[in-house]
Amino acid sequence: MPTSHRTSGKHSALATFARRPETGSLIGFVVVFAFFASLGGPVFIGAPGWSSWLNIAAEVGIIALPVGLLMISGEFDFSVGSVVPASSMTAAMLSGHYDLPAFIGIAGGLGVGLAIGFVNGLLVTRTSIPSLIVTIGVMFAVMGLTLGTAVLIKGSTSVSYVPDPTTKALLGQFINGMFNVAILWWIGFAAVFFYILHISPVGNWILAIGGDRESARNAGIPTAKVTIGLFMASGFCAAFVGVAQVMTYQQAQVAGGQAFIFNSIMCAVIGGVLLNGGAGSIIGILLGTMTFAVVNQGVFFAALDPNVGSIIVGALLLAAVLSNDSFRALAMRVAAKKS
Amino acid sequence: MKLIKILATTTALALTASFAVADEHDGPDIFVIGDKPDDPFWSRVKLGAEHAGLVAEMHGGSVTWLGPQNYDNLGPDAAELIRQAIDQGADAIVAPNWVPEAMDPAFEAVVAAGIPLVIFNAGGIEAADRLGALNYVGTVDYRSGYAAGEYLANDGQSNGACLNSLPGAANIEAFCSGFQDGMIESGGSGSVLQLPATAFGDSTAMAQAVRAHLLQNPDIDALFAIGDQDTNAAISGVQQAGRMGAVEVCGMNFNDSILANIQAGTQACAIDQQGYQQGYFATSILINYVQYGTTIATREILTGPGIIDENNVELVIAGVEAGAR
């Protein structure tokens, strides 16, 4: 009797692991890392390799976290692509062009992100337009405003700004000459979003809204407030990356940032976030981001044609969606058997 | 009543607008096909075209800038813009020949429609001759790259890599092959690092690619970047690879931070295409041709390459402050 008991316990532990939503993402990460480690050699496995892909992961990861949360609640945010350059232009313009103290530039840049997020949230909750369309519209509007304002004020499309040492150390420093300080910020953001999604009651609200918005509202969840809050979070995080880029590269450009739109969505999906909402986890998004970054940087260490990287990312995306579906089916089956 | 009034006004305005376009006796309506106007280099080209356009406006004409929304499909997008310019009744067209395979049919349509054409920025005099354009205004991309390669090799560097963040575009390929030849013919060696097309405009992607490439290829001691944003990112990549001082960076185009870097010694040189002049001369040649029938006897009007390094950077900065560059 005790023997059979133990086996069943072991079996259920394995089954629990297999049913965890992050399992697929973890397997994907390990496979991809092993693949590039075998091709990339000692430099890729050492600190230079790790810092190389972690630097990429940190920037896209800071945006992928709130974008993933929005997707869990059933919404998309495409406007992040223009919030990044808008906020970096604002920060560089305030502190570089007008010579105001760094904290005013930073606050201005982040404020732009929060404001754009608020507008997104308001439009999505007050109208019946899908968030995909709302945020694409806002993205183009912000893009035009950024360009217009920059040309009007500065007469050019790039603004330089050399930050003071403290600001540089906080937002644009390379620790040990390699690790971008953004990696620490990414971990910080991840901790905050982990608390929101998995510990605080708001997390369950987000999942419930993604599952069924109507029922969530009927159950007394302030759906509009949660949605607006989430959009403001993604605006804030995209703005944070924009401001950090100014401090890192000492200049802001009107263009750029578009890559973050699809990259952040891909990180979330590879990390197991359900496209139509209702499921996903922070650990999954982190793993998805790391997988994405390893592929992106791995190609350079493995001396592969960079386009191969794009093919791998595309294939991973499809594999992630497929494996999410099968893991979910597995979980459903086991759960059904129990009851 | 109010609504009818508004409708009537709108119709009247629309009619006036369409008459303005249709009027054959108006001054020259020049269409300039360029890149995204938010690109730092292209904003200068656009300014040059607009300043030349003041003369067109004096004659009652106009200068219209058509640029793509993004770089994802550059050749076909630009070809489409050329056809739009024909459809909108252009009196003359200025356009770059970025991707000949995709764009040549559109240029042939321009010439077939009897619209005067000037090729600028990319393609060279060969493209102008092949397509039957009046002239070519711009730099020879190969020579720009060559100048950078030659400069770095003469500066004591021996192994150079060209950072191609826009694979497939003819002018970027020419930058890179020129750079390689410039390095090789001055006694060094050269290669090309291809980046995925999605990396264009993303500083972090460029910086990390450069760094990974330098770590895997410790022999490389010279880099050539194809634009000012890429140049700043490449310098960050060199710093992160711990190769500052050992690897020299040269780049196409310049901005405030690049001039500061040349002053500080973190960047070796910048190759200036003098974009303002490209927009200005290409547009004004056509305005005068359409208005007065005058031509420029010199074929192939070169606006560069000019090399900016520590020896002349002060002069360039003074030029920027004076609004001349």
Q: Which residue has the tokens 């944003």?
A: B229
Number of domains in chain A: 1
DSSP per-residue letters across A256-293? --THHHHHHHHHHHHTT--TTSS---HHHHHHHHHHHH
Give the C-alpha separation, B21 to B17, whole Å. 7
Pick from A255, A301, A310: CB nearest B201? A255
> What predicted TM-score, i.e. pTM, was given to this entire model?
0.75
Contact B205 A306 (CB under 8 A): no
Residue A75 lies in a domain: yes
pLDDT number for residue B322: 58
- On chain B, the residues whose CB falls within 8 A of the CB of A56 are 204-205, 208
pLDDT number for residue B162: 96
Contact B203 A256 (CB under 8 A): yes
Pick from B36, B212, B241: CB nearest A255? B36
Q: How far is CA B170 from CA A76, B166, B201, in A?
A: 37, 10, 18
Residue A5 lies in a domain: no
Of A136-145, B2-11, B191-200, the poorest mean pLDDT is in B2-11
What the block records as the tokens of B67 is 């640029």
Q: Are B98 and B111 in contact (CB under 8 A)?
A: no
pLDDT number for residue B301: 92
What the block records as the tokens of A131 is 């968030």
pLDDT band at B205 (very low <50, low <70, confident <90, very high): confident
- On chain A, the residues whose CB falls within 8 A of the CB of B207 are 55, 249
Would you call A53 an interface residue with chain B, using a CB distance cutoff of 8 Å?
yes
Phi-psi category of residue A28: left, alpha or beta, with phi > 0 → left and psi -120 to 50 → alpha: alpha
Residue A7 lies in a domain: no
The pairing of beta strand B248-252 with beta strand B222-225: parallel
Residue of B31 and B320 predicted with greater confidence: B31
Residue A8 lies in a domain: no
Of A249-258, B25-34, B62-71, B268-277, the poorest mean pLDDT is in A249-258
pLDDT number for residue B119: 94
Residue A2 lies in a domain: no
pLDDT band at B274 (very low <50, low <70, confident <90, very high): confident
C-alpha distance from A270 to closest chain B C-alpha (Å) = 18
CA angle A37, A29, A195 (to 5 degrees): 135
Q: Is the dihedral of CA A39, A43, A49, A50 positive or negative?
A: positive
pLDDT number for residue A336: 61
- On chain A, the residues whose CB falls within 8 A of the CB of B39 are 157, 255
pLDDT band at B198 (very low <50, low <70, confident <90, very high): low
Residue A215 lies in a domain: yes
- On chain B, the residues whose CB falls within 8 A of the CB of A256 are 201-203, 229
Mark out the alpha helices in B30-122 (DSSP H runs): 40-58, 74-87, 100-112
Q: B1: how many CB neighbours lie within 10 A of its CB?
A: 5
Quote the DSSP letter at residue A195. Answer: I
Give the C-alpha separation, B152 to B258, whole Å. 17
Contact B232 A52 (CB under 8 A): no
Quote the DSSP letter at residue B226. Answer: S
Superfamily for domain range B2-139+275-294 = Response regulator (3.40.50.2300)
SS3 B23: coil
Would you call A59 an interface residue with chain B, using a CB distance cutoff of 8 Å?
yes
Burial degree of A326 (CB within 10 A; 0-12, 13-18, 19+)? exposed
CATH number of the domain encompassing residue A299: 1.10.3470
Residue A41 lies in a domain: yes
CATH for the stretch B141-272+311-319: 3.40.50.2300
- On chain B, the residues whose CB falls within 8 A of the CB of A310 are 196-198
- The one-letter code for the residue type at A186 is W
Above 60 in pLDDT, residue B129?
Answer: yes
B2-139+275-294 and B141-272+311-319 share one CATH topology? yes
Q: Which of A73, A20, A71, A61 lies closest to A267, judged by CA?
A: A61
Give the C-alpha separation, A34 to A37, whole Å. 5
Would you call A149 an interface residue with chain B, using a CB distance cutoff of 8 Å?
no
Q: Are B251 and B270 in contact (CB under 8 A)?
A: yes
Give the C-alpha separation, A306 to A57, whole Å. 17
Give the C-alpha separation, B146 to B160, whole Å. 12
Q: How far is CA B246 from CA A176, B167, B223, B267, B268, in A?
A: 18, 27, 11, 11, 11
Residue A333 lies in a domain: yes
Give the C-alpha separation, B212 to A213, whole Å. 46
Nearest chain A residue to B40 by CA: give it. Answer: A157
Of B5-9, B29-33, B70-74, B245-249, the poorest mean pLDDT is in B5-9
pLDDT number for residue A279: 86
Give the C-alpha separation, A227 to A245, whole Å. 27
Mark out the alpha helices in A46-79 (DSSP H runs): 47-72
Pick from B38, B195, B216: CB nearest A255? B38
Of A12-21, B30-39, B51-60, B167-176, the poorest mean pLDDT is in A12-21
Counting as low any pLDDT under 70, the low residues of chain A are: 1-14, 18-19, 21, 327-328, 331-332, 334-339
How does pLDDT run across A150-161, given as a tens digit for each residue?
Answer: 888 887 777 888
The pairing of beta strand A179-180 with beta strand B29-33: unpaired
Give the C-alpha separation, B246 to B234, whole Å. 14
The residue segments making up the domain with residue A290 are 21-338
Element (H, E) at B140: none
Q: How far apart are the first and last CA of chain B?
A: 54
Would you call A55 an interface residue with chain B, using a CB distance cutoff of 8 Å?
yes
Q: Are A181 and A174 in contact (CB under 8 A)?
A: yes
pLDDT number for residue A267: 93
How does pLDDT run across B28-45, given as a tens digit for each residue?
Answer: 999 999 988 777 778 888
**What φ, ψ does residue B249 adopt, rounded to 5°?**
-115, 135
Domain ranges across chain B: 2-139+275-294, 141-272+311-319
- As a three-state string, the secondary structure of B171-218 is HHHHHHHHHHHHHHHCCCEEEEEECCHHHCCCHHHHHHHHHHHHHHCC
Q: Which of A184, A255, A196, A182 lies closest to A68, judged by CA?
A: A196
Element (H, E) at B147: helix B141-154
Contact A259 B201 (CB under 8 A): yes
